[in-house]
Structure 1
Amino acid sequence: MSESVTEFRQLDLNETLLSALDSMGFTAPTPIQAASIPELLKGRDALGKAQTGTGKTAAFSLPVLNKIDLAQHKPQAIVMAPTRELAIQVAAEIKTLGQNIRGLKVLEIYGGASIVDQMRGLKNGTHIVVGTPGRVKDLINRDRLHLGEVKTFVLDEADEMLKMGFVDDVTWILEQAPETAQRVLFSATMPPMVKTIVNRFLRDPARIDVAGENRTVSKVEQNYWVVKGVEKDEAMSRLLETEESDASIVFVRTRQDTERLADWLNARGFNAAALHGDIPQSQRERTVENIKRGVIDVLVATDVVARGLDISRVTHVFNYDIPFDVESYIHRIGRTGRAGRQGKAILLVRTNQIRMLHTIERVTKSAMEEIQLPARDKVAECRVNALAAELEADKESSSLTAFTDLIAKLQETLGVDATTIAAMLLKRQQGKRPLFYQGADPMVAAIEREKNRRSNRRDDDRGSRGSRNERGGERGGERGGERRTYNDADFDTYQLAVGREQGVQVKDIVGALANELGFTKGAIGAIKLAPSHTYVQLPKKMSAEVAKQLKELRIRQNETKAVVVEGVDLSRDNRGAPRGANRDGGSRDGGRGGYRGNRENGEGGRPRRDGERRFDRNRGGNSHRGSNTGSAASREPRSEG
């Protein structure tokens, strides 16, 4: 049926909804809407596979609104979303689609806002509830949210919801649902947890798959810059100043980096604000409103809180940190290019993350163009042009007369001409954003050094191969230079109550320690991954706050219950052979030793014979945890890719 539907008026929607769609300028449904709406209007359970930007919110909202009974003031539909921001966004879109339905009440319920106000809203009556699973469950338990009249349950972005640890809450809520209620689930991917929910709770669902028709990527111009020559903070500053943008979202991995980068940008004259999960909900809502009104121009955010943001001003998305997976990337760039507008996305990628870049290109079926970072002189030129534009707007101002008189007085007082006074004022006005640079751009020199280093490495490699051939192929020496060493006495060995049985990989361990606890490159020792637990070396000296966070650390929604253990030798395997050695005492991997990481994402490519995988911070050459480029604050683990 979806192939023949070219207009909303071909669907069995009532006139109030059609008039609202007409007033919004929507006449033709998207593929997911054309395929979903007829099935949902029949009351069938449905499983929709669709990514952001495909119009799925309207796909389930229009059928829900079409059968609302305004005389019934108990909730008739429950829509669950993974985040507060997405719940707010979905509720706002439902209200917009139902703008011509007199007396329609839509209530958002989520954590971080007053539960008393939400209980009052339920008591006063509402037709549709949009909320997060935790708060929905809480209000059901408090006997304030009654499900007796609910006709439809919707799980929006189910994969993200379950990934965030809501599987128990979602399962419990669906168990409370009336047997006759329609169940609708939308998800971008179908991991095992989602399939389990589908098989248990959906009854002969209509299966709608338009994931391949996502138009988000096609509406966004995508570029990438390989991190080299300057720190990422400086790179962000140059890009923000030289790109012709209105408002921008900068995506980072951690809550700490949102605050740090936003402060750094503000100190350099940008109107920036941080947005992450620890910020009170009221402040987060003010921040979003401020970027919509133009009070701020740059939003530095984590993935989760940015889900569902629809801000028309956003022309650019900057991926300061490369995302862990392709779906997150698609969600990120979907924050621009909204409502038919063209957007632009720029990804900052380290050399050890190029494989992830190619994975994104392959899955999204798009090619990113590499760009070069603007030189300092280009940045200064843009600043001068911006200053000229501001002065152009002021040159007809009626209030200039008083300042003209002041210039004449200053000339007499200082004994200099008007041009010199103007130069003095411009010098003061530039602040920390100079209109002229002196000396060579460090980026140019660094790029030249990188070229020379690679050339020298190739020469060394050729020489090393020749030496090995002369030795009859002898192996076991260090490749790429002297091996780094560290002192075991500076580290404690911790046992974490997670392992491969919980789906944990080395990259999860390193990512959690770096992103959640802020451990830098040199602060993580060897890692030994086993089926039910993991051993990891961490510094003996850590602050009380970090030690407290370590005890509360969760990896893949599992408590790690970190405890210090003794007598575990991470330098030797279960057979007593030195790490990286075979039974004859030779090296199994060219003498590099320890856990052999995958350069794309830090995972182990080769399982050890004893069933365990190791990460060894002693490896020479390319470190598992990251590049030395940039300041300590901007260094990232190798596992990011």
Structure 2
Amino acid sequence: MTKFEALGLNSALLNAITDLGFETPSEVQEKSIPILLEDETDLVALAQTGTGKTAAFGFPLIQKIDSNSRTTQGLILSPTRELCLQITNEMQLYSKYVQGLNTVAIYGGASITEQARQIKRGAQIVVATPGRMKDMIGRGIIDISKIDYCILDEADEMLNMGFYEDIKDILSNTPKEKSTWLFSATMPKEVATIAKKFMHHPKEITVGTKNSGVDTVQHEYYLVGGRDRYSALKRLSDANPGIFSVVFCRTKRDTQKVAEKLIEDGYNAGALHGDLSQNQRDLVMNAFRKKQIQMLVATDVAARGIDVDDITHVINYQLPDEIETYTHRSGRTGRAGKSGISMVIITRSELRKIHAIEKKIKQNFIAKKIPSGIEICEIQLYHLANKIRTTEINEEVNHYLPAIHDVLEGMDRDELIQKIVSVEFTRFYNYYNKTKDLNSVEPDRREKNKGASDDFSSNGSVRYFINVGERDGYDWMSLKDFLKDTLQLDKNDLFRVDVKESFSFFNSEAALKDQILETFTDFKVNGRFVNVEVSDSPEGGRRRRDKGAKGKRDGRDRNKSKGKKREGSFSKGGSRRSGTKQVTSSGNRRSKKRDGFY
């Protein structure tokens, strides 16, 4: 008797399992399948992404469905189109020996008419995204009032995406006597609320520790300055030549910018976010699955449903707001028993988030250094040597060997090897030679106090004065956005933003002082100079001109505008505008668009 047969599965499923090459059930399958086959019960199963949850609910569902009836008996709700299609495909593979069983996918971005036609032909199992499912129920296209089984897959993801009301509406159209199976990686309060409201004394199984990360993933963090994130990302990629990764950004804008810059810099990268058309997303995912893309830069929403087992790294270019989201991110690697690495690029002000995540996932992060330029050169050199050693010889080159021997005549073995590896090594050496150390060292208490004394601030931070305020349309939030976008810093690098009527104050780490003052040297927005100076005291008030600041034009600009309406209004949307830096050369001022962070 096979291990799957011992779980109570019938011959039709066992034959499909054999075809698929499954040998040993995963832990969540071993725990879930017997319970679901033996009893008509509600179930809450907590297990990480990539642990075989689809088969855990799919095998019992298929075995319990009456394939001779065309009535819809099972409903599976999933958060995204990609996951919906993935589940549908797997369910069809599992049920290949069950005659007459149809599984239909219902999702947005495709013809609702065609989906309605498939439902009408008979679909015992429907896999759907909440939005399209609610739409089809409202149109009377589908009837789920007689279903026997309802499965909520990746329940925490659906609720994180704002589908709570949709799920409640959908479940209210189902019979009370059905069995509800809830599968989730984490158990936030919203999932617990759904379980309490729509389930009856559910049995609960947990694979690993509740809300914890999987032990196949190593968690690392790299401490850098906010402006060095992209450089750090490139170094981490170059230091891992065989990388096959998902890079997570918070916003669609950052996702697109990072992906474009990576492509521009010669990396095999692609973007995946909600602004792409469905066709574009399909093309990107197909290229990623074929490993034509090594670095997939994605938002959390777009990445949900990615089912690729051999992702080597997850890189958190920016940390998410919710710890549960980090758990899902890191779960994209270390799947199917393979190991993976979850890297986090952070600034000093985000260290507390690392500690919070450690407590939640019950795993420790390893503090690691961004590799130096020479370390990367060495790694790439050894990688090239190994690649040469393991490359299979293409016999077609034999025809050209006589001519090649003529070209290389007179070279000895060592010289030939030096030249071959120098082709690649020189490229990295020229790029990384004399590059700066990107690692941001956490200062000890004495260093922080020293910084406070030198820069007239506390806790090692610097207090700045800026000549815009409420009358220019700013509040603390929009000013922080403007500063963040202009300086290309993380929002956590700027704090204690205090907006007055005609001026404001803000703080940054002392290490960012030169960058901030240089950026706002001869800086204009809509024709008006925006001046930043170091404040005399931690709370603002009187300010001093720092030696590094060259705001000579500030007084002259204010005198010009005295008694006049200011040129260029600073609205709350001002943070969205790109500034213009004025560069003075030989007394002539020319306009130059600021270089972007990327």
Residue in structure 2 matched with residue 168 of structure 1 by the alignment: 165
Structure 2: distance between partners of 1:358 and 1:343: 21
Structure 2: distance between partners of 1:355 and 1:80: 35
**TM-superposed deviation, 1:172:** 1.4
Structure 2: distance between partners of 1:435 and 1:164: 42
Q: 1:286 aligns with which of 283, 287, 303?
A: 283
Q: 1:398 aligns with which of 371, 396, 399?
A: 396
Q: 2:202 aligns with which of 195, 202, 205?
A: 205
Residue in structure 1 matched with residue 450 of structure 2 by the alignment: 459
Structure 1: distance between partners of 2:23 and 2:493: 55
Structure 2: distance between partners of 1:35 and 1:309: 23
Structure 1: distance between partners of 2:464 and 2:158: 42
> 1:491 is matched by which residue type in structure 2?
D
Q: 1:484 aligns with which of 464, 469, 483?
A: 464
Residue in structure 2 matched with residue 9 of structure 1 by the alignment: 5
Residue in structure 2 matched with residue 323 of structure 1 by the alignment: 320
**2:377 is aligned with 1:380:** yes
Q: 2:434 aligns with which of 438, 441, 461?
A: 441
Post-superposition CA distance 1:572-613 (Å, at most 9, x none): xxxxxxxxxxxxxxx9xx8489xxxxxxxxxxxxxxxxxxxx
Residue in structure 1 matched with residue 256 of structure 2 by the alignment: 259
User: SS in structure 1 opposite 2:312?
Assistant: strand
Q: Give the conservation status (yes or no) of the 8 Å contact 2:241–2:383.
A: no
Residue in structure 1 matched with residue 73 of structure 2 by the alignment: 76
> 2:465 is matched by which residue type in structure 1?
T
User: SS in structure 2 opposite 1:122?
Assistant: helix
Post-superposition CA distance 1:170-197 (Å, at most 9, x none): 1111111133322222334444443443
Structure 2: distance between partners of 1:511 and 1:20: 55
The more displaced of 123-132 and 382-391 is 382-391
Residue in structure 1 matched with residue 339 of structure 2 by the alignment: 342
> 1:184 is matched by which residue type in structure 2?
W
User: SS in structure 1 opposite 2:196?
Assistant: helix
> 1:459 is matched by which residue type in structure 2?
K
Structure 2: distance between partners of 1:524 and 1:491: 20
Structure 2: distance between partners of 1:538 and 1:140: 55
**TM-superposed deviation, 1:85:** 2.2
Gaps of 5+ in 2: 504-536, 542-594
User: SS in structure 1 opposite 2:464?
Assistant: coil
Structure 2: distance between partners of 1:69 and 1:213: 34
**TM-superposed deviation, 1:352:** 0.8
**TM-superposed deviation, 1:144:** 1.9
**2:140 is aligned with 1:143:** yes
CA 1:400–1:101: 2 relative to 1, 3 Å: same
Identity among equivalent pairs (%): 32
Q: Give the conservation status (yes or no) of the 8 Å contact 1:290–1:296.
A: yes
**2:272 is aligned with 1:275:** yes
Residue in structure 1 matched with residue 545 of structure 2 by the alignment: none
Structure 1: distance between partners of 2:258 and 2:179: 45
Structure 2: distance between partners of 1:509 and 1:150: 53
**TM-superposed deviation, 1:276:** 1.0
> 1:434 is matched by which residue type in structure 2?
R
Q: Give the conservation status (yes or no) of the 8 Å contact 2:88–2:104.
A: yes
Residue in structure 2 matched with residue 25 of structure 1 by the alignment: 22
CA 1:261–1:400: 2 relative to 1, 3 Å: farther
Q: Give the conservation status (yes or no) of the 8 Å contact 1:219–1:341.
A: yes
CA 1:458–1:294: 2 relative to 1, 3 Å: same
Matches within 5 A, 1:222-261: 222-228=219-225, 231-261=228-258
Q: Give the conservation status (yes or no) of the 8 Å contact 2:211–2:361.
A: no
> 1:15 is matched by which residue type in structure 2?
S
Structure 2: distance between partners of 1:132 and 1:256: 25
Residue in structure 2 matched with residue 220 of structure 1 by the alignment: 217
Q: What's the TM-score once normalised by structure 2's chain length?
A: 0.71
Post-superposition CA distance 1:351-395 (Å, at most 9, x none): 111111112222222222222222112323344445555666486
Q: Give the conservation status (yes or no) of the 8 Å contact 1:381–1:435.
A: no
CA 1:68–1:379: 2 relative to 1, 3 Å: same
Structure 1: distance between partners of 2:474 and 2:50: 46
Residue in structure 2 matched with residue 605 of structure 1 by the alignment: none
> 2:396 is matched by which residue type in structure 1?
S
Q: Give the conservation status (yes or no) of the 8 Å contact 2:226–2:489.
A: no
More strand by share: 2
Q: Give the conservation status (yes or no) of the 8 Å contact 1:478–1:592.
A: no
Q: Give the conservation status (yes or no) of the 8 Å contact 2:223–2:348.
A: yes
Calculate the aligned-residue CA RMSD, in Å.
4.5
**TM-superposed deviation, 1:268:** 2.0
Q: Give the conservation status (yes or no) of the 8 Å contact 1:111–1:132.
A: yes
Q: What's the TM-score once normalised by structure 1's chain length?
A: 0.67
Residue in structure 2 matched with residue 119 of structure 1 by the alignment: 116
Q: Give the conservation status (yes or no) of the 8 Å contact 2:155–2:182.
A: yes
CA 1:228–1:101: 2 relative to 1, 3 Å: same
User: SS in structure 1 opposite 2:396?
Assistant: coil
**2:384 is aligned with 1:361:** no
Q: Give the conservation status (yes or no) of the 8 Å contact 2:451–2:461.
A: no
> 1:166 is matched by which residue type in structure 2?
F
Residue in structure 1 matched with residue 527 of structure 2 by the alignment: none
**TM-superposed deviation, 1:84:** 1.8
CA 1:205–1:513: 2 relative to 1, 3 Å: farther
CA 1:346–1:388: 2 relative to 1, 3 Å: same
Post-superposition CA distance 1:250-290 (Å, at most 9, x none): 11111112211111111222111111122122221222221
CA 1:478–1:262: 2 relative to 1, 3 Å: closer
Q: Give the conservation status (yes or no) of the 8 Å contact 1:85–1:308.
A: yes
> 1:488 is matched by which residue type in structure 2?
G
**TM-superposed deviation, 1:220:** 1.3
Post-superposition CA distance 1:318-341 (Å, at most 9, x none): 111122222212211111111111
**2:177 is aligned with 1:177:** no
> 2:8 is matched by which residue type in structure 1?
D
**TM-superposed deviation, 1:303:** 1.2
**TM-superposed deviation, 1:66:** 1.1
Structure 2: distance between partners of 1:538 and 1:207: 59
Structure 2: distance between partners of 1:105 and 1:304: 29
Post-superposition CA distance 1:54-76 (Å, at most 9, x none): 43332322221111111222321
Structure 2: distance between partners of 1:321 and 1:490: 33
> 2:434 is matched by which residue type in structure 1?
D
CA 1:263–1:400: 2 relative to 1, 3 Å: farther
What is the count of residue pairs matched by the alignment? 505
Post-superposition CA distance 1:27-54 (Å, at most 9, x none): 3451465146414642222333444344
The more displaced of 131-140 and 15-24 is 15-24
User: SS in structure 2 opposite 1:398?
Assistant: helix
Q: Give the conservation status (yes or no) of the 8 Å contact 2:149–2:180.
A: yes
Residue in structure 2 matched with residue 67 of structure 1 by the alignment: 64
> 1:307 is matched by which residue type in structure 2?
R
**TM-superposed deviation, 1:512:** 13
**TM-superposed deviation, 1:538:** 13
Residue in structure 1 matched with residue 526 of structure 2 by the alignment: none
> 1:20 is matched by which residue type in structure 2?
A
> 1:367 is matched by which residue type in structure 2?
N
CA 1:453–1:83: 2 relative to 1, 3 Å: same
Matches within 5 A, 1:595-634: 633=597
